[in-house]
Structure 1
């Protein structure tokens, strides 16, 4: 099977207003993301629901447009992400799959950028090297957190993130999108939250 899947599909419980406010309360002015992350959210809403829905989604955002490699507060990102996922929930069967849908646009957007193309050149030896360099890619996209790749086999491992404002379902969707872009078969990604802002995502491919 080309592409991949997450399994089992169960509700993370992360899609509540209370969870959004909890994450916002932990953010500091130093915690930022690149505008590329905002673009992935906006593109998902525009493509799936249309321009009018995107305009409604942006009503609670401080900005209405984002420059790809400018830094924006992670609080702005979280508000936009949650509003978009709530709007997409009916179409995609819930909050978690809406987040995965949004995250599916992260890898294509990043890999087609100037930084992404340079990143690919540094990973010419194949998917293992590319995935091993994910901590570098994460640091290029966000100022916060720590990312560690722990290998459990030639084609399997665990993505560990610490003080990470992204949801583990975001990482599931992002990994599977990357695997699709690389043409990997029978790829899987299954995550869980291990702390207030910590995640683990097991992944594998054939």
Structure 2
């Protein structure tokens, strides 16, 4: 299944000129495209935005990030790599976490959090997000012993992207859990994260 034809345009209309995303996210999506579709396709996806690969911790336009996400997820879905564009967007989100946790900041955060402590990891999610994007805010709340919620406001990425991010973050700390995103329009969503004992 693909997103509605105007989905990307609706999201782009919400982006302010000052909204930025770190190069690390671009590189994670491009690296996924290269692994799944080959270097030539990855280069074609990159070329409309960058002559060379972006620098991980430089900031770039959120408009370009959304355009790259939609172009890459569409190419991955058309190639039959993830079954649907939504699943390809989740894979892009997961790739972003892999890129983040392999960075210096991500490695430091992993050492601070340790393995198997989802509450500690997820309570730090608002801070981690704020190092990667300039827009929006995220609030963490505990719902039950093994259930927390992250409420996102002012974030124009598709829900599936953040589901992929959060699911992969659980995996990174060796925790078996589920992430369910509930959109509130194009600009906000709630993410319920539950895990096993």
Stretches of structure 1 that go unaligned for 5 or more consecutive residues are 1-10
Q: What is the TM-score when the length of structure 1 is the normalising length?
A: 0.87
Stretches of structure 2 that go unaligned for 5 or more consecutive residues are none
Q: What aligned pairs does 1:11-30 form with structure 2 within 5 A after superposition?
A: 15-30=3-18
1:114 aligned onto 2:84: no
- Kindly indicate whether structure 1 or structure 2 has the higher relative contact order, using CA contacts under 8 Å at least 6 residues apart: 1
Q: 1:78 & 1:16 partners in 2: Cα distance?
A: 15
The aligned counterpart of 2:70 is: 82
Q: Root-mean-square deviation (CA), in Å?
A: 1.7
- Count matched residues: 193
The aligned counterpart of 1:31 is: 19
Give the secondary structure class of the aligned counterpart of 2:148.
strand
Q: Which moved more, 1:67-76 or 1:123-132?
A: 123-132
Q: What is the TM-score when the length of structure 2 is the normalising length?
A: 0.91
Q: 2:14 & 2:50 partners in 1: Cα distance?
A: 19
The aligned counterpart of 1:173 is: 164
1:105 corresponds, among 72, 83, 95, to 95
1:156 aligned onto 2:144: no
Displacement over 4 Å in runs of 4+: none
Q: Deviations along 1:18-73, whole A, 9 cap, x unmatched?
A: 11111112211210010011011101100011011112222432454100000001
Q: 1:72 & 1:172 partners in 2: Cα distance?
A: 23
CA distance 1:132–1:157, change in 2 (3 Å): same
Whether the 8 Å CA contact 2:20–2:59 is kept in 1: the answer is: yes
Q: Deviations along 1:148-184, whole A, 9 cap, x unmatched?
A: 1121112211111001022111111111111111111
